């Protein structure tokens, strides 16, 4: 049949080969379809998928130690916790600068809070030492100012560290504050000549710019003096090419003064502030969390911790998350099973009744589905509480006495009952749509071949309804495992789920990293189930109403 | 109700009367507990029900007359025992007992099972229906119970003795008045009606376009795209909410600083955008479901007759998929209208919605106004449900899919 095609390819009406013309048409069709989808896809990707990915990324993110204590982290690299001793002087020198900068930026308490998750007690260490470190800087500042009062002026520092172009632009901007503020540019080579001081000034300049102020006219931080002294001590003759000509004598004078005095012991100063600095554990924590990424939150989320002997299980009284995950899973499973037990007969009845009757009864299933979740939750609260309707009826019927009213709310029972009710329509609807497709003649055929009603149901009907059971169960389980509102309102402390813990860490304890790690695990489970659901049912086959 | 002539009528004394006596004694137990004489109540109930069965089966073959008579007699008994409420309960008891009596004595209980079915099978058949009835009761009762409680004159969450006695003083509209006058409730109500419709419009317009795109025959990566678009329904709300919390707080700051918008306005924009994402899966699902049954040759015919793609979309395709779009819109609306978690995280106090207010009300200072709000919302959901059902039927009719 193909010899004509081989001889000369088929042509479309306009003379192009048919194959090419068809490909082009197909491509146009694909592009049109994508163009229709694109706005929504972009909207969902930007406002939903990326934010969630970004949030989950917080579970491994750990920039805070690295960003707040950059010099300390560098100095700490050579320290070995196995030595059993706190690090030596150089680390404390770097810490002094870092901590003063952090205190000025009000970051030291945040860092303390972060490290406190890993090593309780660190928070107060940072909080108290912030003030002490500031004192060190002030002493150095006073000494420098004693040599030359110019050191007290912001302009002096700006002239040393800012590039000439930036200084000119900044002076012009500061005069009338019109136009946009020039971004700070560091003087070439200064970060090699005076590394610590340059780092401190850079942080200062960024902070001043953020507040819309000129770094040159802002009051300088005391830490500059400390950092400069340290720089000059380790290198008394900084490269003159990197220094501005006007300020070079000033620096030389300071350098001479620093060389003249006995070195200040930072280690002793810090140990005097707080004994915690002498403990190996403190430094171990800082070193362990100094890399920009960490598995610490995930370890925490599964009740593990980093210990001197590697990763270990937390002490029993601190193990809460595995238990909470297990409880969430177990209760979701129980809810799914009770939904199945209650939903199966109803779906069977709906599928086997006359259309008019079943449509009427369907309304009884759909009404709860359409009723606000909070209405249903408040109804259960009204029904289940100790002075509530069910207890009142039981007392009235003398089934329980007034003192022995049943506790059915603020515990697992409350969560179970309310959530089974709330999720039941999600079980009935998929079951119904599958059962509707099973011909009733099969059952009759089985019975006429001699099967008992039970055998006929179990061997013939039930296997055909399994896709419905799968779809409904996975849907209910997925919805149950991530529930927040109902457990929060009727679950008390015993009936809450992992979602409630995540919400607690996001809004109350502010341990976002741990919340993200817990969320990532939960999402992983849900996505796995979602994938299974997609394989079994296909997402396009989800039916509503 | 027609009964096949070959269904044997059961024996009156051996079947109907004993069962009726059991039903009556259960009823009598309830009355007995209320009055404090349990044994007397059980015995009296059993005797009354048995007598009713005998009288109805032997002397009153006319169903309607029998049932009205039974209701009247029991209403009288109830009135003597418990006043107005007793009379109402008596009418109900009479209607139920007379129904059971006829159902048993005429053999109607065997309708629906084959004639050859054994007694056990008949029992199971009816027991199964009773079980299903109880499950339906479990589904509906919590929602229905809220309605009378909303009219409670006291600030209680349960029935007061006055309410049970059907005393008009036990009922009042004060919780509804509070709902409609207290700014703690009117403001959230207004917010809900600002946020939900706008979020719906966004999700419906984008969702319908995308659903039409997805239903074309050649879409690269269709499965993956579908999975992404459905994901807001699957991802646990708390995770969506926290993700959006960080994203929208950044976006809000940007809008306030760079665009100079007021804090209030950006707050609404944030919540509306967040809610519209949550509504999208529902629109996609319902509209794609409608498009599955859409006859593609109709658009081709339109094109053949000279209509451009836009014209054929609005004149041919749109009217046919409209029911799907509207029910998707209702789903999106109710999703936003009923949403708490995301608005708790993304919104600020000035965007407080009705569910948010209910949530805080239920968690902190539980006020009976919540029940009035709940009653209003139940009425609202009944309206929505009716609309969706009507639309579904209309859609099926339009597409000629089912004769109902």
Q: Residue A262 pLDDT more than 80?
A: no
Scanning the structure block, which residue is given the tokens 């309708």? B111
Q: Residue A309 pLDDT more than 80?
A: no
Do B145 and B225 belong to one domain?
no
B338·A481 Cβ contact <8 A: no
Do B245 and B329 belong to one domain?
yes
pLDDT of res. B275: 95
Contacts of B136 in chain A (CB under 8 A): 346, 361, 364-365
- Whole-angstrom Cα distance, residue A127 to residue A136? 15
Contacts of B217 in chain A (CB under 8 A): 29
- Within a domain: residue A397? no
- Within a domain: residue B361? yes
Radius of gyration of chain A (CA): 35
What CATH number does residue A522 fall under? 1.10.3720.10
- Within a domain: residue A308? no
Do B236 and B339 belong to one domain?
yes
Q: Which of B239, B262, B237 is nearest to B252 (CA)?
A: B262
Of A50, A376, A482, the CB nearest to B236: A482
Do A186 and A277 belong to one domain?
yes
Mean residue pLDDT across chain A: 85
Under 8 Å CB pairs connecting chains A and B tally to: 279
Q: Do the Cβ atoms of A60 and B242 come closer than 8 Å?
A: no
Do A86 and A19 belong to one domain?
no
Scanning the structure block, which residue is given the tokens 């009247």? B72
Percent helix, strand, coil in chain A (nearest 5)? 70, 5, 25
- Within a domain: residue A19? yes
pLDDT of res. B134: 96
Do B120 and B70 belong to one domain?
yes
- Torsion from C-alpha of A383, A388, A393, A399, nearest 10 degrees: 100
Phi, psi of A61 (to 5 degrees): -75, 140
Contacts of B131 in chain A (CB under 8 A): 345
- Complex ipTM above 0.95? no
Do A333 and A186 belong to one domain?
no
pLDDT of res. B31: 85
Q: Do the Cβ atoms of A251 and A160 come closer than 8 Å?
A: yes
Chain centroid to Cα A539, Å, comes to: 28
Q: Residue A179 pLDDT more than 80?
A: no
Q: Do the Cβ atoms of A497 and A331 come closer than 8 Å?
A: yes
pLDDT of res. A540: 60
Do A49 and A73 belong to one domain?
no
Expressed as residue numbers, the domain containing B345 is: 178-398
The residues of chain B scoring below 50 in pLDDT are 1-4, 402-404
- pLDDT band for A1, please (50, 70, 90 cuts): very low
Which residues fall within 8 angstroms of residue A322, CB to CB, at 6 or more apart?
Answer: A302, A303
pLDDT of res. B117: 80
- The count of residues in chain B is 404
pLDDT of res. A539: 62
Q: Do the Cβ atoms of A487 and A500 come closer than 8 Å?
A: yes
Neighbour tally for B6: CB within 10 Å: 6
- Within a domain: residue A387? no
Do A205 and A174 belong to one domain?
yes
- CA–CA min distance B202, chain A (Å): 10
Which residues fall within 8 angstroms of residue B263, CB to CB, at 6 or more apart?
Answer: B252, B256, B348
Count structural domains, chain A.
3
Phi, psi of A162 (to 5 degrees): -80, 150
Neighbour tally for A338: CB within 10 Å: 19
Do B20 and B113 belong to one domain?
yes
Do A136 and A283 belong to one domain?
yes
B143·A366 Cβ contact <8 A: no
B145·A382 Cβ contact <8 A: yes
Q: Do the Cβ atoms of A76 and A280 come closer than 8 Å?
A: no
Domain boundary among A19, A37, A57: A57
Do A135 and A247 belong to one domain?
yes
Do B391 and B285 belong to one domain?
yes
Stretch A347-365: mean pLDDT: 89
- Within a domain: residue B2? no
Do A91 and A225 belong to one domain?
yes
DSSP three-state, residue B12: helix
Crossing angle of the two packed helices A122-147 and A108-116, in degrees rounded to 10:
150
A28-78 per-position pLDDT tens digit: 888 988 999 999 999 999 999 999 999 888 888 888 888 888 888 888 888
- Within a domain: residue A310? no
Do A74 and A43 belong to one domain?
no
Neighbour tally for A76: CB within 10 Å: 19
Do B343 and B211 belong to one domain?
yes
B334·A32 Cβ contact <8 A: no
- Whole-angstrom Cα distance, residue A289 to residue A285? 6
Write out residues 404-433 of A within 8 Å (CB-CB) of B. Answer: 421, 424-425
Do B52 and B111 belong to one domain?
yes
Q: Do the Cβ atoms of B160 and A389 come closer than 8 Å?
A: no
- pLDDT band for A135, please (50, 70, 90 cuts): confident
How crowded is the C-beta side of A504, counted as CA atoms within 13 Å?
A: 9
Do A279 and A168 belong to one domain?
yes
- Within a domain: residue A73? yes
Stretch A192-215: mean pLDDT: 84
Strand partners, A305: A312
- pLDDT band for A544, please (50, 70, 90 cuts): low
Do A266 and A352 belong to one domain?
no
- Whole-angstrom Cα distance, residue A302 to residue A521? 9
Scanning the structure block, which residue is given the tokens 């706008």? B198
- CA–CA min distance A120, chain B (Å): 26
pLDDT of res. A308: 66
Contacts of A453 in chain B (CB under 8 A): 121, 124
Q: Left, alpha or beta for A303 (phi > 0: left; psi -120 to 50: alpha)?
A: left
Q: In chain B, what is the straight-line distance between the N-terminal and C-terminal CA atoms, in Å? A: 22
Per-residue burial over B348-360, b = 16 or more CB atoms within 10 Å of its CB, e = otherwise: eeebbbbbbbbbe
Query: What one-character DSSP code corresponds to residue B317?
Result: I
Both structure tokens of B320 = 């046919």
What CATH number does residue B201 fall under? 1.10.3720.10
A330-339 per-position pLDDT tens digit: 999 999 999 9
Scanning the structure block, which residue is given the tokens 């896809």? A41
pLDDT of res. A176: 78
- H-helix or E-strand containing A307? strand A304-307
Do B125 and B224 belong to one domain?
no
Do B272 and B319 belong to one domain?
yes
Do B371 and B238 belong to one domain?
yes
Expressed as residue numbers, the domain containing A340 is: 321-371+405-541
Do A332 and A280 belong to one domain?
no
Percent of chain A with pLDDT over 70: 97
A392·B158 Cβ contact <8 A: yes
Q: In chain A, what is the straight-line distance between the N-terminal and C-terminal CA atoms, in Å? A: 52
- Within a domain: residue A223? yes
Spell out the alpha helix ranges (H) of A69-121. Answer: 70-76, 89-104, 108-116
Count structural domains, chain B.
2
- Within a domain: residue A303? no
pLDDT of res. A5: 47
Contacts of B246 in chain A (CB under 8 A): 51, 54-55
Domain boundary among B149, B169, B195: B149
Domain boundary among B130, B149, B168: B149
Do B110 and B201 belong to one domain?
no
């Amino acid at each position: 049949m193909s010899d004509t095609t081989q001889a000369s390819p088929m042509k479309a009406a306009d003379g192009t080969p048919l194959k090419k013309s068809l490909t082009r048409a197909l491509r146009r069709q694909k592009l049109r379809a994508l163009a229709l989808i694109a706005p929504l896809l972009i909207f969902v990707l930007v406002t939903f998928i990326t934010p969630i990915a970004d949030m989950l990324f917080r579970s491994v993110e750990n920039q805070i130690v690295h960003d707040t204590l950059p010099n300390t982290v560098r100095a700490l690299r050579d320290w070995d916790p196995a030595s059993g001793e706190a690090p030596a002087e150089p680390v404390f020198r770097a810490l002094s600068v870092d901590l003063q900068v952090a205190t000025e930026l009000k970051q030291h308490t945040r860092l303390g809070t972060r490290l406190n998750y890993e090593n309780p007690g660190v928070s107060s260490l940072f909080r108290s030492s912030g003030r002490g470190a500031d004192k060190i800087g002030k002493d150095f500042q006073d000494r420098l100012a004693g040599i030359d009062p110019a050191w007290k002026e912001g302009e002096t520092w700006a002239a040393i560290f800012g590039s000439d172009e930036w200084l000119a632009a900044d002076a012009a901007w500061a005069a009338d504050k019109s136009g946009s503020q020039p971004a700070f540019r560091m003087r070439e080579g200064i970060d090699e000549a005076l590394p610590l001081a340059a780092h401190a000034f850079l942080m200062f300049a960024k902070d001043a710019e953020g507040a819309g102020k000129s770094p040159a006219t802002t009051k300088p931080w005391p830490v500059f003096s400390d950092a400069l002294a340290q720089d000059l001590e380790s290198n008394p003759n900084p490269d003159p090419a990197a220094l501005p000509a006007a300020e070079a004598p000033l620096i030389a004078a300071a350098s001479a003064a620093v060389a003249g005095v006995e070195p200040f012991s930072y280690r002793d100063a810090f140990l005097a502030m707080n004994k915690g600095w002498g403990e190996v554990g403190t430094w171990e924590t800082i070193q362990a969390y100094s890399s920009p990424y960490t598995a610490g939150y995930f370890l925490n989320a599964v009740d593990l911790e980093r210990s001197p002997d590697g990763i270990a299980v937390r002490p029993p009284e601190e193990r809460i998350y595995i238990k909470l995950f297990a409880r969430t899973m177990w209760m979701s499973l129980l809810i799914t099973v009770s939904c199945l037990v209650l939903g199966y007969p109803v779906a069977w009845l709906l599928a086997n009744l006359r259309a008019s009757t079943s449509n009427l009864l369907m309304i009884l299933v759909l009404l709860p589905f359409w009723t606000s979740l909070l209405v249903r939750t408040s109804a259960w609260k009204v029904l289940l509480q100790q002075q509530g309707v069910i207890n009142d009826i039981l007392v009235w019927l003398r089934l329980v006495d007034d003192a022995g009213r049943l506790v059915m709310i603020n515990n697992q029972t409350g969560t179970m009952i309310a959530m089974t009710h709330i999720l039941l329509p999600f079980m009935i609807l998929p079951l119904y749509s599958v059962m509707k497709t099973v011909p009733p003649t099969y059952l009759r055929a089985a019975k006429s071949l001699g099967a008992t009603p039970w055998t006929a149901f179990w061997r013939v009907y039930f296997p055909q309804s399994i896709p419905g059971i799968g779809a409904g169960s996975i849907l209910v389980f997925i919805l149950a495992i991530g529930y927040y509102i109902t457990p929060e309102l009727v679950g008390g402390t015993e009936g809450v789920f992992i979602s409630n813990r995540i919400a607690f860490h996001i809004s109350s304890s502010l341990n976002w990293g741990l919340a993200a790690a817990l969320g990532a695990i939960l999402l992983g489970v849900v996505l796995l189930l979602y994938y299974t659901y997609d394989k079994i049912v296909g997402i396009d086959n989800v039916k509503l109403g | 109700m027609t009964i096949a002539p070959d269904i044997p009528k059961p024996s009156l004394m051996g079947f109907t009367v004993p069962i009726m006596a059991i039903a009556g004694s259960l009823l009598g137990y309830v009355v007995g507990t209320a009055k404090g004489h349990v044994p007397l109540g059980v015995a009296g109930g059993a005797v009354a029900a048995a007598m009713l069965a005998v009288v109805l089966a032997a002397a009153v073959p006319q169903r309607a007359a029998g049932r009205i008579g039974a209701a009247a007699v029991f209403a009288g008994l109830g009135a003597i025992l418990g006043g107005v409420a007793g009379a109402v309960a008596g009418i109900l008891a009479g209607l139920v007992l007379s129904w059971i009596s006829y159902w048993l004595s005429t053999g109607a209980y065997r309708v629906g099972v084959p004639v050859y079915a054994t007694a056990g099978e008949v029992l199971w058949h009816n027991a199964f229906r009773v079980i299903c009835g109880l499950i339906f009761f479990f589904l509906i009762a919590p929602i229905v119970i809220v309605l009378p409680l909303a009219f409670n004159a006291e600030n209680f969450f349960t029935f007061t003795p006055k309410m049970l006695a059907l005393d008009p003083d036990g009922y009042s509209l004060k919780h509804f008045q509070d709902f409609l006058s207290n700014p703690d409730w009117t403001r959230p109500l207004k917010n809900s009606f600002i946020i939900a419709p706008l979020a719906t419009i966004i999700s419906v317009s984008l969702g319908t376009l995308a659903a039409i795109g997805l239903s074309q025959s050649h879409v690269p990566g269709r499965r993956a795209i579908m999975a992404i678009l459905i994901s807001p329904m699957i991802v646990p709300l708390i995770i969506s909410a926290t993700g959006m919390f960080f994203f929208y707080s950044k976006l809000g700051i940007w809008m306030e600083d760079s665009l100079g918008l007021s804090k209030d306005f950006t707050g609404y924009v944030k919540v509306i955008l967040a809610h519209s994402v949550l509504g999208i899966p529902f629109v996609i699902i319902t509209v794609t479901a409608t498009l599955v049954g859409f006859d593609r040759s109709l658009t081709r015919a339109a094109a053949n007759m000279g209509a451009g793609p836009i014209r054929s979309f609005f004149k041919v395709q749109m009217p046919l998929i409209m029911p799907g779009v509207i029910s998707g819109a209702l789903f999106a609306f109710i999703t936003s209208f009923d949403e708490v978690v995301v608005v708790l995280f993304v919104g600020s106090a000035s965007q407080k919605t009705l569910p948010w207010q209910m949530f805080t009300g239920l968690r902190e200072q539980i006020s009976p106004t919540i029940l009035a709000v709940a009653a209003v919302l139940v009425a609202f959901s009944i309206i929505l449900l009716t609309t969706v059902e009507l639309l579904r039927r209309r859609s099926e009719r339009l597409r000629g899919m089912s004769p109902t």
